[in-house]
Amino acid sequence: MNMLPIVDHPAAARPFVTNPDRAPWHDKALWFVRSKRDKQASSVPEWEYLRSLASQIKTATIANLGDYLTEFERNATALGAVVHWAADAEEHNRIVLKILRDHDTHRIVKSKSMLTEECGLNPFLEANGIDVVDTDLGERIVQLRHETPSHIVLPAIHLKKEEVGETFHEHLGTDEGAADPKYLTEAARGHLRDKFLAGEVGITGVNFAIAETGGFVVCTNEGNADLGASLPNVHIACMGIEKLVPRFEDLAVFLRLLARSATGQPITTYTSHFHGPRDSHSELHIVLVDNGRSRLRQSDAFRDALHCIRCGACMNTCPVYRRSGGHSYRATIPGPIGSVLSPTRDSSKHKSLPFACSLCGSCTDVCPVKIPLHHQLLAWRKEIGNLKLLSYDKRISMKMASLLFRSARLFSFAGWVGRASLKVLPHWATHHRLNTWTIARELPEPPKESFRHWYAKNRK
């Protein structure tokens, strides 16, 4: 969980990025996923058209969100579902707990849902005496380790199989030192089967909800959402209000983009549609959660972030994420989209995240719903500047730079001083730990003269 009141990404990233085994391995694992995504994207001739279409559908949905939500509620209710509205995380958690209490249930099987992570549902329920089991394999691994997911699609991507083996040895009684993925997966299956059978309520997330039908779709690769929602008689589906698409046919656009962008699969193994409760003995509850989304919708600069379908492609492609690991963001959603979303909740706490970005723009180009991510991160930096949240050294150095750049004479003189000092000062005086540039790098070798000096002599 979050330890620091203010997240300092460079400091939080340091142990991971400077670990000679961890960072390159993590980088390669995610680059492998990114390469699979490229292969899949290139196999769809209309890929860029699909992206544009998806973006347009989302823009239209968000613009008329109130109407579509009402339509969804009407149609879902007609199908027999109970629709709940939660203004924030606390209300969401209270609603879920009330449903559990109404049924006097204490054992929950939960499939992957970043929304419940965002709302802190697990610790809340546990504090209220409820046993919550995450049924996604990666989520179960991090849950056993008392960690949070480090990636929204690959929650345990920061762990090596040996570490998973240790965790399972400790909690599931697998052989010590076992690291064979097949063996470990089988052990997890056996363990989770018991949990599924004992589960009294199944909680799932929602990938897409359809206003026109009142149904929704959950995508998993393990089938755990189906099992979790099918065995118990009560299914609670928790969704952010931006998960809506207007029409059933819109799903085709998003389902084609989602799995390809997320993991490089043509489609997720299980794409399960839920339209009302299973039978007359079952209940389906849908909790619609705002938790800051309406506020984001008001913002011209950041509204498009509501397009996000949580595919994780921006994380897989982000060179900073790949080397610093998901936990360095100290946020439910890490990576580029997380660095856009987190400051909308608490700009002071997350002020370093928009700077954990080289502005390479790869996230923007990879995003299946065309969120201009790196431009939004840049916009956040300006916002953080406006909110007077920039550190003193950033403010003062940029103020000085600005003054310098307003006079060619001053700029030229400062440049001369810099070059001259580099020439006369010994290496240790210019390359030390206080000069952050030179911790890992050499400074450029100073030339005899600046270009402007050369030009004045040679071209006049």
Q: Which stretches within 112-268 are classed as H helix?
A: 114-119, 121-127, 137-144, 161-172, 181-198, 224-230, 250-263
Least distance from C-beta 458 to other proteins, angstroms? 8
* Sequence letter at residue 313: A
- Is position 449 an interface residue for other proteins (rule: CB under 8 A)? yes
Question: Residue 14 corresponds to which tokens in the numbers above?
Answer: 């340091």
Distance of alpha carbon 359 from alpha carbon 370, whole angstroms: 16
Q: Which of 98, 247, 423, 441 binds other proteins (CB under 8 A)?
A: 441
Question: CA–CA separation, 134 vs 378, rounded Å?
Answer: 36
Residue 336 in contact with residue 315, Cβ under 8 Å? yes
Of the candidate spans 68-76, 172-180, 267-275, 443-451, the one that interacts with other proteins by CB under 8 A turns out to be 443-451
Query: What's the min distance (Å) between Cβ of 416 and other proteins?
Result: 8
The verdict on 25 binding other proteins (CB under 8 A) reads: no
330 binds other proteins (CB under 8 A): no
206 vs 356, which CB is nearer to other proteins? 356
**Binding to other proteins by residue 246, rule CB under 8 A?**
no
User: Which among 83-91, 231-239, 279-287, 312-320 is the span making contact with other proteins, rule CB under 8 A?
Assistant: 312-320
- Which residues between 71 and 130 bind other proteins (CB under 8 A)? none
Per CB under 8 A, the segment of 66-74, 164-172, 199-207, 451-459 that binds other proteins is: 451-459
How far is residue 159 from each of residues 123, 151, 275, 338, measured CA to CA in Å?
22, 11, 37, 20
Helical ranges in 266-327 per DSSP H? 293-297, 313-317, 319-324
Mark 383-402 with x for binding to other proteins (rule: CB under 8 A) and - for no binding.
xxxx---x---xx--xx-xx
Q: How far is the CB of 45 from other proteins (least distance, A)?
A: 8
CB of 193 to other proteins, least distance (A): 40
Count Cβ neighbours within 10 Å for each residue of 188-205 and write b for 16 or more, e otherwise: beebbeebbeebbbbbbb
Question: Which range of residues in 15-23, 115-123, 243-251, 284-292 is near other proteins by CB under 8 A?
Answer: 15-23
Name the minimum Å distance from CB 400 to other proteins. Answer: 9
Nearer to other proteins by Cβ, of 4 and 456: the residue is 456
Q: Which residues of 161-187 are buried (b: 16+ CB within 10 A; e: fewer)?
A: eeebbbbbbeeeebeeebbeeeebeeb
- Evaluate the CA torsion angle 315, 318, 324, 328 in order and state its sign: negative
Q: Which stretch binds other proteins (CB under 8 A): 231-239, 279-287, 290-298, 442-450?
A: 442-450
Interface positions, 338-357, toward other proteins (CB under 8 A): 354-357
Positions 364 through 383 that interact with other proteins (CB under 8 A)? 364-366, 378, 380-383
Q: Give the pairing type, strands 244-245 and 208-210.
A: parallel
SS3 at position 216: strand
Q: Which of 101, 418, 421, 429 binds other proteins (CB under 8 A)?
A: 418
Is residue 430 part of the contact set for other proteins (CB under 8 A)? no
Q: How many residues bind other proteins (CB under 8 A)?
A: 77
Q: Residue 163 and residue 179: Cα distance in Å, rounded?
A: 8
Q: Among 404, 47, 86, which residue's Cα sits nearest to residue 241?
A: 86
CB 372 within 8 A of CB 307: no
Min dist CB 49 to other proteins, Å, is 10
Structure tokens at 244: 């809506």
Q: Is 359 in the site for other proteins (CB under 8 A)?
A: yes
226 alpha carbon, distance to own chain's centre: 24
Cβ proximity to other proteins: between 280 and 436 the closer is 436
Q: Exposure of 82 by Cβ count < 10 A (0-12 exposed, 13-18 middle, 19+ buried)?
A: middle
CB of 254 to other proteins, least distance (A): 17
Check binding of 2 to other proteins (CB under 8 A): no
Residue 235: what are its φ and ψ, rounded to 5°?
-120, 120
Contact letters for other proteins, residues 187-226 (x by CB under 8 A): ----------------------------------------
272: part of which helix (H) or strand (E)? strand 270-274
Please state the closest distance from residue 205 (CB atom) to other proteins, in A: 26
- DSSP per position, 400-411: HHHHHHT-HHHH
Distance separating alpha carbons of residues 442 and 272, to the nearest angstrom: 55
Q: How far is the CB of 59 from other proteins (least distance, A)?
A: 20
Which of 5, 392, 451, 457: binder of other proteins (CB under 8 A)? 451
- Taking CB under 8 A as the criterion, the residue among 42, 70, 269, 348 binding other proteins is 42
Q: According to the binding rule CB under 8 A, does residue 22 interact with other proteins? A: no
| 457 counts as binding other proteins under rule CB under 8 A | no
Least distance (Å) from other proteins to the CB of residue 277? 41
